[in-house]
């Protein structure tokens, strides 16, 4: 009897809504043609060991998981070294396709693995499914990465409740949102909720980002709201701003951090919203402005929620698109499900940095009309507000947001 072909699936990085919909759709597409479908637990961590941690999918299991949140395959951020690579699992199980579900790091690692296997005369293809709630992979036509729309929807629900609390209590809220180095989630959530100010790293246009600038921008919004008789509000900040800060800026901000073995501050152990709120309150007290603010962190709770109808459908198409691209002979690519109903490969070599091999990050386009319109309708201090704002601060020009952004 001829040995069955196998498709192997692994997920790396952090969870995103819709992972199980992708896994289910891939499994069903290959099972109907009598393939084996094997999933790896813990990403790439055990693939090259003597005892890989695997799960085998049949139709019943694939059908059970398609609408569940989280991931039935345990995830990991482990990155194997080239020296760890071997062909054992792939030759033993007759693996013809490796499907990776993840972000840019996962795609780059998968590319390394398949190049090695091909060099070792193992006939295998690799197709990547773009997953990240950060929406920062460079897909064409502003297509979202899967999971982003659900995370955006869930985050918006939380942020709306926060704003209602601000309105009810007369307080301000400082909301921090996940996003790595891109501000897509913060921008999406903030504009959906009509937040008076959305702070994302892209708006600094390459200029230095400091806590001082960010706090002054927040005060800019508070001052403008005061001039129109509104004493409550909420400001949303992308955690991506930390990516562009000097490490000394973070370490010396006055908030106590733990440090890793290399002496770097461990940002993952402390709420980013707490950091901003502590610094904001310190500056407000120095200025004699009586405003209460509270921190809210939006992050882990939006990564593993059940996918919305958009992401369930999108992920189903991506999963079936993997089979289509494989049948057409594509490899070393990302599956793209276009808005016009077409599927196409996006080759990793075309979007990766030629020197580092890393995929270029898609940032918020701050020159696009949607961003410019949203920015223009935010509440921040301009010259026309100086007179009224001088009732609260001696030098209102110091809190002119456009001037703050223009400084180096």
Closest alpha carbon to 89 in 10, 21, 25: 10
Tell me how far apart the alpha carbons of residues 258 and 408 are, in angstroms, rounded to a whole number. 30
Tell me if 159 sits within 8 A of 189, measured CB to CB. yes
Tell me if 184 sits within 8 A of 191, measured CB to CB. no
Tell me how far apart the alpha carbons of residues 27 and 97 are, in angstroms, rounded to a whole number. 12
pLDDT value for 182: 93
pLDDT value for 218: 98
Q: What is the pLDDT along the chain (408 residues), one digit of tens a residue?
A: 568 999 999 999 889 999 999 999 999 999 999 999 999 999 999 999 999 999 999 999 999 999 999 999 999 988 899 899 999 999 999 999 999 998 878 888 887 888 888 899 988 999 999 898 999 989 999 999 999 999 999 999 999 999 999 999 999 999 999 988 899 999 999 999 999 999 999 999 999 999 999 999 999 999 999 999 999 999 999 999 999 998 888 888 877 777 766 566 777 778 899 999 999 999 999 999 999 999 999 999 999 999 999 999 999 999 999 999 999 999 989 999 998 999 999 988 888 777 777 788 899 999 999 999 999 999 999 999 999 999 999 999 999 999 999 988
pLDDT value for 275: 93
| Alpha-carbon distance values, 144 to 136, 155, 185 (Å) | 8, 16, 11
Helix (H), strand (E) at residue 10: strand 6-11
Tell me if 208 sits within 8 A of 368, measured CB to CB. no
Tell me if 46 sits within 8 A of 340, measured CB to CB. no
- For each of the domains in the chain, give its residue range(s) and CATH number, in order of start: 6-147+307-351 (3.40.50.450), 152-302+378-406 (3.40.50.460)
Q: What secondary structure does DSSP assign to 312-362, as a single string? A: HHHHHHHHHHHHHHHHTT--SEEEEE-TTS-EEEEEHHHHB-TTT-PBPPP
Catalytic position from the list 105, 123, 134, 353: 134
pTM for this predicted structure? 0.92
pLDDT value for 268: 75
Tell me if 199 sits within 8 A of 276, measured CB to CB. no
Tell me if 279 sits within 8 A of 250, measured CB to CB. no
Tell me how far apart the alpha carbons of residues 279 and 131 are, in angstroms, rounded to a whole number. 34
Helix (H), strand (E) at residue 61: helix 59-65
Tell me if 154 sits within 8 A of 302, measured CB to CB. yes
pLDDT value for 249: 84
Strand partners, 126: 98
Q: Is position 365 annotated as part of the catalytic site?
A: no
Tell me if 233 sits within 8 A of 221, measured CB to CB. yes
């Amino acid at each position: 009897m001829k040995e069955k072909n196998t498709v192997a699936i692994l997920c790396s990085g952090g969870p995103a809504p819709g992972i199980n919909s992708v896994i289910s759709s891939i499994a069903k597409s290959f099972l109907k043609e009598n393939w084996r479908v094997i999933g790896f637990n813990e990403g790439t961590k055990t693939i090259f060991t003597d005892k890989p941690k695997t799960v085998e999918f049949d139709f019943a299991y694939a059908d059970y998981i398609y609408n569940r949140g989280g991931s039935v395959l345990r995830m990991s951020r482990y990155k194997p070294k080239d020296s760890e690579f071997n062909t054992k699992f792939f030759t033993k199980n007759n693996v013809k396709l490796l499907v990776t579900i993840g972000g840019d790091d996962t795609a780059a690692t998968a590319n390394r693995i398949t190049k090695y296997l091909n060099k070792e005369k193992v006939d295998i293809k690799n197709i990547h499914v773009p997953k990240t709630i950060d929406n920062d992979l460079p897909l064409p036509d502003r297509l979202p990465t899967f999971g982003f729309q659900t995370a955006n929807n869930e985050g918006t629900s939380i942020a709306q409740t926060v704003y209602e609390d601000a309105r009810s209590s007369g307080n301000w809220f400082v909301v921090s949102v996940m996003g790595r180095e891109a501000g897509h989630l913060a921008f999406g959530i903030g504009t959906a909720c009509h937040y008076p100010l959305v702070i994302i790293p892209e708006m600094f246009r390459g200029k230095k980002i400091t806590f001082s600038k960010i706090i002054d921008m927040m005060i800019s919004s508070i001052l403008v709201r005061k001039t129109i008789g509104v004493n409550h509000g909420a400001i949303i900040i992308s955690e991506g701003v930390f990516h562009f800060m000097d490490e000394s800026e973070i370490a010396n901000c006055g908030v106590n951090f733990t440090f890793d073995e290399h002496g770097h501050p461990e940002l993952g152990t402390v709420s980013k919203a707490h950091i901003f709120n502590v610094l904001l309150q310190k500056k407000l007290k120095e200025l004699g402005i009586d405003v209460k603010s509270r921190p809210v962190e939006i992050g882990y709770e939006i990564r593993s929620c059940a996918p919305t109808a958009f992401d369930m459908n999108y992920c189903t198409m991506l999963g079936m698109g993997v089979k289509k691209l494989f049948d057409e002979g594509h490899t070393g690519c990302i599956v793209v499900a276009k808005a016009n109903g077409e599927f196409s490969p996006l080759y990793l070599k075309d979007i990766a940095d030629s020197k580092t091999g890393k995929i270029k990050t898609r940032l918020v386009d701050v020159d696009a009309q949607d961003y410019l319109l949203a920015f223009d309708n935010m509440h921040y201090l301009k010259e026309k507000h100086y007179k009224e704002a001088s009732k609260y601060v001696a030098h209102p020009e110091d809190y002119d947001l456009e001037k703050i952004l223009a400084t180096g």
